[in-house]
Amino acid sequence: MHGRNECAGNVQQLCVKKYATSIKAWWEFVMCQNYQGRDNIGKPEVASRCAKIAGIDWKTSGAGRCAGLDGSGTGYEGVQLLHDSLRIVESLGITCASDPPLCLVSIH
């Protein structure tokens, strides 16, 4: 299901990408979220659990502050990263034909 949780998951992933000490840790975080099932991506408890599994300290790495220490995916910096990502997607001419629209993200 697309919507608020998917966007929260994108924010979480963008923040972990920015603050993880390695691409491997970021990838482990993303894969862990994906293995929880589509309906669970973006949930705070999943972000917390996956950060722990990937060896990322949610509170001290910067990822938590970025995405929201509560894991909500509503932290100011994370939302800004998502907006920046959406601008990149739009600048590349990528459009979405789904209804409701997907939350597209560019992780670079």
Cβ atoms of 33 and 50 within 8 Å: the answer is: yes
Percent share of the chain, pLDDT over 70? 85
Q: 16 in a domain, yes or no?
A: yes
Query: Domain count of the chain?
Result: 1
Q: Which domain holds residue 47?
A: 4-91
pTM for this model (two decimals)? 0.84
Residue whose C-alpha is closest to residue 65's, from 25, 74, 46:
74
- Any residues with CB less than 8 A from the CB of 22 and at least 6 apart, and which? none
Residue 44 lies in a domain: yes
99 assigned to some structural domain: no
| Residue given tokens 């998917």 in the structure block | 6
Residue 101 belongs to a domain:
no
> Within the chain, which residues score under 50 in pLDDT?
1
- Specify whether the CB–CB gap between 75 and 65 falls below 8 A: yes
In a domain, 9, yes or no: yes
Rounded (10°) angle between helices 76-91 and 4-19: 100
Within a domain: 48? yes
Structural domain includes residue 74: yes
For 89-106, write each residue's pLDDT tens digit.
778 877 766 555 555 555
In a domain, 107, yes or no: no
